[in-house]
Structure 1
Amino acid sequence: MDLRNSRGSLIRGGLLGLAVGAGVCYCVYRATSRKKRNEGAEEAGLKGEIIQKEHEDRLCSTSWGEAQIATPEQAPILDDNIFSSTRQKDSSCLQQGMNFPASPDGLEANHIQSLIYLLESMEDPLIQEQALITLGNSAAFSINQDIIRNLGGLSVIGSMLSVPADNIKEKALNALNNLSMNIKNQEELKRYITKICEETSSSPLNSELQLAGLRFLTNMSVTNDYHYMMSSSIPCFLYLLLDGDERTQTQVLKVLVNLSANPAMTDHLLSARAPFLLSLFDGCTNKEVLLRVLVFATNLAQHMNKESAIASQHSEDSIFAMIWGNSTQCTQKLASLLHHQDAEVKNQVAKLIML
């Protein structure tokens, strides 16, 4: 029994050391590279938060599209030791110390392989959480995204969504979020969209778990490829827009804006029930929320065939009825917003009025 405890302590110590080396330096990387990322990102109405420059053109190609990278909030405890890189099940191999690179971009395939093995084979929640944090941090680098995929890590991380503990699912979603910045990864990660939509719907309102799910869906909705898999969740997204706090409203609007940029989604969105929507067209609405609501409406107006939309059967509380069915009220609200103190809001209102 003492031997088991000793081995468990050694494994935990090694893993915590790995997590810190990657986690702390990742935060430094984020701070120093943010300016460079923003300068390189293509303007598309609302700038997407994208880490890998080589994916920006592909992921920002959708009109008004947004992408968001997840940043794990926990900074692990510093420890210079790390477990062995072998995948052998002999626990003595896991006790061997090694010098681990200080930055997550210095991770080698054998380090990542060991993390995936621990995540796959250990049921200790502490190990699972730290492994997910470190894998998520390392996935901020495109080379590691490919390594994780090639080592079968996407399915291992995805399996953590079935763990009952919310903190484990949240860290898994953060890791999948960063991994979803890779086009080849998205092709595999699409299998989790339906499950994550359901998880987002059933999670406690405004929880970190719910926000993590929305961030993943934001990245997966930057291109049009997987919008059809989210169409049935539009009522859930609108519920979160109604009852969520400002953080949740902002995040769910990023998904809705991306969906509205796809002409194929226009009818799905116009027919959705949202009797509250016009109330957000107000100068008292949070600026980030207001701006995205206006972009959402602008996208729909750009893609909408007004004659066919009017001829279609829309309920009295549908998005179409709320905006275009209440033309007088909508016009009054937009006219008032032309005097908004924020220039971006005024410009977006002008674009909507001109359509």
Structure 2
Amino acid sequence: MGHTRSGFVLWCSLGLFFGTGACYCVYKWVFRKGKWKESARGEKGVAGAAASRTRVTSGNEKSPADDLKKSASDNLEPYHLQKLIKLLETTEYCSVREQVLITLSNSAAFSVNQDLIRELGGLSVIGKSLSDPSMEVRVKALNALNNLSMNSKNQEHIQVYISEICSGVALSPLNSDLLLAGLRLLTNMSVTNDYHQMMSHTIPSLLHMLSAGNKTTQIQVLKVLVNLSANPAMTRDLLRVQVPSSLISLFDSCMNIDVLLRALTFVANLNDNLKSQSCSADISQYSAESLYYLFFGESGFSQRLAALLLHPDVEVKGQVARIMTS
């Protein structure tokens, strides 16, 4: 019933912007045979066992495979995108904002639309939705920006929201959709070193989530941390953070393989940085509760690493060897 009513509201809103003739094809695009589903997420990169510092991306919110295979005529035209952006900016209906954001997010699966949405001023309109009173709208806005951030030119515009995104991540309920959406966007925005310093103030929150979150949250947090640790300039910011000693429990043979492998990659990146610069020259800058002492002090971490040499996974053993032999 709720979907039917919201669909009627959206139909009327589209009619006002597009006219009754043109709005039908846009309505079909938004609802896709009446299904209110977001597209599935696919990870484009994973933390592997390469000797070089590893980075990851979160991937983008893609439409289902059958939707992506549709002909170009089924894609939204620039005129439609422009009207949808205007509708997002002006509508008072939360349900309409949510569905328009889903539509823009799905359309961003096409690289040409990533450019068009930017050129039509859509990034700033979507960015305003990050402060929407509705949590669901904020989630959809983060998902849309995540898809659009696969474009490097778009990242130059999205960077102005990094501080707001980091604050939102720190304040989001643990393991929530809002938190995960923010972490996915930070993952894409941290693939290069360009915006790392803008994220430095959220590192303590990330490490807290890594300790307290569930498996899904831990994986998303580690994707961001792996990217940050691949930048030698971020080493001190990471190692100075005070962390609970329970964080060492991640490095156990019984730990989920995706969590364990990324956690080891994170440490291996930091270890490489320490060996190549003077970050460890003055250990007085690190407190006894710091990440530095947990991984590189006398915390029993080296014994855990030695035990992981017996792990059945080849990539895990490769990362352990990378840490112990560098």
- TM-score normalized by the length of structure 1: 0.77
Confirm or deny: 8 A CA contact 2:60 2:150 kept in the other structure. Answer: no
Counterparts of 1:157-168 in structure 2, within 5 Å, are 157-168=126-137
CA distance in 2, matches of 1:265, 1:127: 41
How far has the Cα of 1:106 moved from its partner? Answer: 2.4
How many Å separate the matches in 2 of 1:349 and 1:66?
19
Distance in structure 2 (CA, Å) of the matches to 1:8 and 1:320: 53
Q: Deviations over 1:108-134 (max 9, x none)?
A: 111111110110111111111110001
Q: Work out the number of aligned pairs and report it.
A: 302
Q: Does 1:300 align with 2:311?
A: no
After TM superposition, the structure 1 = structure 2 runs for residues 228-247 of structure 1, keeping only pairs within 5 Å, are 228-247=197-216
In structure 2, what is the Cα distance between the partners aligned to 1:113 and 1:245? 39
1:265 alignment counterpart: 234
Classify 1:46/1:216 alpha carbon distance in 2 versus 1 (closer, same or farther; 3 Å): farther
Pairwise CA distance, 1:156 = 0.4
Which of the residues 307, 312, 324 maps onto 1:336?
307
Change (3 A) 1:46 1:121: farther
Q: How far apart are the structure 1 equivalents of 2:305 and 2:33? A: 48
Say whether the 8 Å CA contact 2:163–2:198 is kept in structure 1. Answer: yes
Cα deviation for residue 277 of structure 1 reads 2.8
Q: Does 2:65 align with 1:65?
A: no
- CA deviations over 1:309-346 (Å, ceiling 9, x no partner): 1523211111110111126x222111111111212111
Cα offset, 1:307, TM superposition: 6.1
2:9–2:96 contact (8 Å) kept in structure 1: no
Distance 1:46 1:11, change over 3 A: farther
Quickly say closer, same or farther: Cα 1:317–1:131, change in 2 above 3 A: same
CA contact (8 A) 1:72 1:171 kept: no
Residue 45 of structure 1, aligned match among 45, 48, 56: 48
Q: Distance in 1 between matches of 2:169 and 2:189?
A: 14
Q: Deviations over 1:80-115 (max 9, x none)?
A: xxxxxxxxxxxxxxxxxxxxx866972211111111
SS of corresponding position for 2:194: coil
Distance 2:49 2:182 in 1: 21
**Residue of structure 2 equivalent to 1:182:** 151
Instruction: Identify which of 112, 115, 133 aligns with 1:143.
Output: 112
Map 1:279-318 to 2 at 5 A. Answer: 279-305=249-275, 308-313=279-284, 314-318=286-290
Counterpart CA distance in 2 for 1:195 and 1:258 is 20
Instruction: List structure 1 segments (4+ residues) > 6 angstroms apart after TM superposition.
Output: 101-105
Offset of residue 8 of structure 1: 6.4
TM-score by length of 2: 0.84
Deviation larger for 116-125 or 6-15: 6-15
Partner of 1:323: 295
Which moves more between the two structures, 329-338 or 103-112?
103-112
Residue 27 of structure 1: how far off its partner (Å): 8.5
Whole-angstrom distance in 2 between the partners of 1:212 and 1:167: 11
Report what 1:93 is aligned to: none
What whole-Å deviation, never above 9, does each CA across 1:159-209 have from its counterpart, x for those lacking one?
A: 111111110000000000000111110001001101011111111110001
Say whether the 8 Å CA contact 2:126–2:145 is kept in structure 1.
yes
Partner of 2:29: 18
Contact 1:337/1:345 (<8 A) preserved: yes
| Secondary structure of the structure 2 residue equivalent to 1:316 | coil
Paired with 1:68 and 1:226, the residues of 2 have a C-alpha distance of 16
Using the alignment, how far apart are the partners of 1:104 and 1:256 within structure 2? 41
**Residues 1:166 and 1:11: Cα distance change in structure 2 (over 3 Å):** same
2:186 to 196, 204, 217: 217
Q: Name the amino acid aligned to 2:303.
A: Q
C-alpha distance in structure 2 between counterparts of 1:231 and 1:207, whole Å: 22
Q: Is the 8 A contact 2:49 2:318 kept in 1?
A: no
Give distance in 2, aligned partners of 1:46 and 1:175: 31
Q: Distance in 2 between matches of 1:104 and 1:295?
A: 44
> Aligned partners of 1:117 and 1:46: how far apart in 2?
46
**Within 2, Cα distance between the matches of 1:9 and 1:130?**
11
Q: How far does residue 143 in structure 1 lie from its aligned partner after superposition? A: 0.7
